[in-house]
Structure 1
Amino acid sequence: MSSLGVRRRFAAVSLAVAGSLVLLSGCSGSDDAGADAAQSPSPSVSPSTSPSPTPMPSATYKPASAEGPAENVPLPVMPEEAKVESKEGLIAFARYWYELVNYGYETGDVEPVKAVSGPDCVDCNRYFGVVDRGYRDDDWMAGSLIDFRSVHSDYVLTPEGLYQVLIQFTQEPVEYYGPDGAEYGVDPGSDAPVVQILEARYEDDRWIVAKLSSM
């Protein structure tokens, strides 16, 4: 596979490791047998005791590296505030959207991002293409995380009926790997702060990203 080259990217906030507990329990019992048992007093029987549920270890998050793709990446959950049509709701939604972008980089699954992005968002579609190529033929991506510096919105409608959010962040280099030790190159990321404008609309009781651009 040829080198993927340098591409334009954007990513998301750091993620928390999460997992679920599997509870195991047992039970025991016995049956009465024989006709004589019905003719004699029943002996007292101590109730059986089930063992206490034992929590299983939570799946451990493992970031991607040259050795393999990320493992057990938790899917970000939309906070309740991000569902509200307000300035605070829009800012919370913007953070959540970038978390989904990062989830896509780590897993190759961009469907959660698509669910909250409009079909005419050009840079969103570029991102989908980048991830699709990065995970083609059992390949994977590593790095790409961003560190939020600031998030701001004046919460004023544009002539197109959109609300804008300014997001400032830095981004880790994006690395490309494949099976059998294949290495396809690294995009440099950005040590210097980058500013992007996310434009969203509130429709059908939810926020949708309509546009994304860099300043």
Structure 2
Amino acid sequence: MVREYVERLRSEALARDAQLRARGIDPYKGTPVDEKPRRRWGARALAALVVLVAVVSVGAYVVFFHGEPDYGMSHGYQVQSDGSLKRPSTPVHQPSAPAELLRFTDDASEIAATHYFEAVAYAWNTGDTQYMRAFSSPDCQFCQKTADDIDRLYEEGGWASGAKFTNVVPHPLGRYSDVENYGEDTYGVRVSFHQLTPDLYAHNAFHASEERDDEVTVLVHWDGQRWAVRELGRDQNTEGSN
């Protein structure tokens, strides 16, 4: 799956590069070919990160099991003969992988960080976690926990619908200082967003979606060929401020 994912990204990137070059734009800098390169990331390094445990997407699932679910209403969903709510049949399309995920540039790290939220929403709304897993590192605790929670929800006969992130804005933080654990080319991007958690149905109980504004820090790592999400958390300088 990962190999197919990378190969598809590579072919899309080559096609887009050719289009940009035909327009006189350097695909690696985003500038006309006769301009000087833009400055790469700032020198300021991101300090220690507090890794997320149950925030953003997982939060909705945790709220479901610890909140007060509704057992008796359809909430606009079709009720099946056994009394359960039918999973919506509205098509949900897999996000298009940006070609920038194969480029080691200043903007690409921000694009990788924000694209992760598209992958998360797609996974919740479909139960298909392969794309999200392929786009994130196996060492990303938050990523793997999120994917496992989604898999468990659908395997147990539940479903989710309507997960969405809007107003997703990246704020680059520079190179991450913990090189020993996260590698040399790992960068922090603080991402602010408006989140609509999904409607959740599991164990014959329903929990309605909720909305909120939030921000988290996404660590993205360049492995020499592509960007992958390495971890999600909160910068210690902002921990507790939300």
Q: Shorter-chain-normalised TM-score: which range? A: 0.5 to 0.7
Counterpart secondary structure, 1:166: strand
Matched, 1:66 2:77: yes
Matched, 1:164 2:188: yes
Match of 2:226 in 1: 206
Instruction: Say if 1:119 and 1:197 are closer, same or farther in 2 by CA, change over 3 A.
Output: same
Counterpart secondary structure, 1:153: strand
Listed as ranges, the matches of 1:189-204 within 5 Å are 189-191=210-212, 193-204=213-224
Question: Would the aligned equivalents of 1:120 and 1:210 in 2 still touch at CA under 8 Å?
Answer: yes
TM-score by length of 1: 0.62
Give the AA of the match of 1:166.
R
Match of 1:8 in 2: 54
Larger radius of gyration: 1
Match of 1:99 in 2: 118
Instruction: Say if 1:135 and 1:72 are closer, same or farther in 2 by CA, change over 3 A.
Output: same
Instruction: Say if 1:155 and 1:141 are closer, same or farther in 2 by CA, change over 3 A.
Output: same
Cα deviation for residue 158 of structure 1 reads: 2.3
Quote the RMSD (CA, aligned, Å).
2.4
Question: Would the aligned equivalents of 1:139 and 1:176 in 2 still touch at CA under 8 Å?
Answer: yes
**Structure with greater proportional helix content:** 2
| Identical-pair percentage | 22
Cα deviation for residue 85 of structure 1 reads: 0.8
Match of 2:162 in 1: 143
Listed as ranges, the matches of 1:75-86 within 5 Å are 75-86=94-105
Long gaps (5+) in structure 2: 1-52, 58-75, 79-86
TM-score by length of 2: 0.56
Q: How many residues get paired?
A: 152
Q: Give me the whole-angstrom Cα distance separating, in 2, the residues matched to 1:173 and 1:207.
A: 26
Matched, 1:183 2:205: yes
Counterpart secondary structure, 1:194: strand
Give the AA of the match of 1:116.
F
Q: Give me the whole-angstrom Cα distance separating, in 1, the residues matched to 2:196 and 2:176.
A: 33
Question: Would the aligned equivalents of 1:148 and 1:167 in 2 still touch at CA under 8 Å?
Answer: no
